Amino acid sequence: MTPTRGTRPNASITNVAALAGVSIATVSRVLSGKRTKDDDIARRVRQAALDLDYAANSAASALRSDTSNTIALSMPAMRDPLAAGIISALSDAAGDAGMRLLVATDNTAAAQHRRLKDFARYGADGMIVLPYQNSGASLARGLAATDTPIIQLLGSTNLLRHDWISIDNGASTELAVTHVVERGAHTIAYLSDAVDSSEGAETLLAFQSSLNLLHARADSAWITIADGTVQRGFSDTMRIFDGLRPGDGPEAIICASADTAIGAVIALEQMAIDVPEQVQIVSLQDGPTAATCTPPLTAMRAPLPQMAAESLRLIGNAHAAVSDTAAPARLHRHVAFPRRLMARASTRAAADV
């Protein structure tokens, strides 16, 4: 039900942000005229302000008094495309909302734990945390004494006392298997990364479930578990196809990482097995190497822009819930987005089936 004008004379900027489904900074930029783009976001903000009888000239002062206009990101010190992609996506989302992104990397879980306390003292409007593996207990301790909204990206959901946003590995794997089955593959190999994490175990289970669902099969010798390296992909693929007659091996290979998939491509080329006509290959991770190898790999791209946008939305919702004393306690959200399939030359075109 849309509120009637004049019924909320004490409406705040956080109320407007919650009703419009945007961040507090976006409300301030729209109502102050700093955000000149006239799109659906701007129209929602103006309508929410109208419905709540909120005075536009109070937006700037409310923002100054209630927020720091800063989002803090804490993550492990790692050098891979995923880390760079997370920073880029969050930086773009924060910039679109008129906010600053403060990024800090740490070398240990204990250092990250201390960093979270520093961010809370700094007064950031929200903290986004990419935790160290198996650091759920430390993360929970770091958040227990602060009211700052927390968003956890990826990692385990154990001991969560805050919002969590991740990748739906099960749905992503099912999409990859469906892609090659729809293009004629009925026998499929899977080169898995280590399954000592919840993500690895979830992905392996999803692969096996997808085979049953799509009436495809994989011999037990075609499912291998090891580190995601080029050498591993090469050696496992050579072993799987060793001694098989043409047509007896898998018609597709799903690889947990791009490096493993590249190794599989090299092995098939050495055995004069055509990719994708005889064997199709999909990597469950996208990145520069997946797009530039020969042939370019069909891969599953992480939904980082959606995750970044949802992170800022949940931070805005948390602020709105705190400001509205009449609202019930806000339940923490657990959100998982599937990866997007990027079809390239390592799988057949649909018309070729």
Q: What SS3 state is found at 229?
A: coil
Q: Which two tokens stand for residue 94?
A: 């924060």
User: 23 with 312: CB under 8 angstroms?
Assistant: yes
Phi/psi zone of residue 287: left (φ > 0), alpha (ψ -120 to 50 degrees), beta?
Answer: left
Whole-model pTM? 0.74
User: 335 with 165: CB under 8 angstroms?
Assistant: yes
H or E element in which residue 282 lies: strand 280-283
Q: How many CB atoms lie within 10 A of CB 333?
A: 15
Q: End-to-end distance of the chain based on CA atoms, in angstroms?
A: 51
User: 135 with 149: CB under 8 angstroms?
Assistant: no
Q: What is the pLDDT of residue 57?
A: 44
User: 346 with 298: CB under 8 angstroms?
Assistant: yes
User: 265 with 220: CB under 8 angstroms?
Assistant: no
DSSP string, 161-183: -SEEEEE-HHHHHHHHHHHHHTT
pLDDT along the chain (353 residues), means of 10: 47 81 77 71 86 60 57 85 89 87 88 80 84 62 66 72 87 96 96 76 90 94 94 97 87 96 97 96 94 96 94 84 53 87 95 52
Burial category of 330 from C-beta neighbours within 10 Å (exposed 0-12, middle 13-18, buried 19 and up): middle
Residue 249 and residue 189: Cα distance in Å, rounded? 9
Residue 185 and residue 234: Cα distance in Å, rounded? 21
What single letter denotes the amino acid at residue 214? L
Report all structural domains of the chain as residue ranges with CATH numbers, in order of start: 13-64 (no CATH), 68-161+318-337 (3.40.50.2300), 169-302+341-352 (3.40.50.2300)
- Strand 340-342 versus strand 163-167 pairing type: unpaired
User: 26 with 45: CB under 8 angstroms?
Assistant: yes
Q: How many CA atoms lie within 13 A of 84 on its CB side?
A: 6
Distances, alpha carbon 52 to alpha carbons 26, 49, 172, 314, 320, in Å: 17, 5, 41, 21, 14
What single letter denotes the amino acid at residue 247? G
Residue 225 and residue 221: Cα distance in Å, rounded? 11
Per DSSP, helices labelled H in 182-338 are 198-214, 230-241, 258-270, 288-292, 304-323
Residue 13 and residue 16: Cα distance in Å, rounded? 5
Residue 161 and residue 71: Cα distance in Å, rounded? 19
Q: What is the pLDDT of residue 63?
A: 43
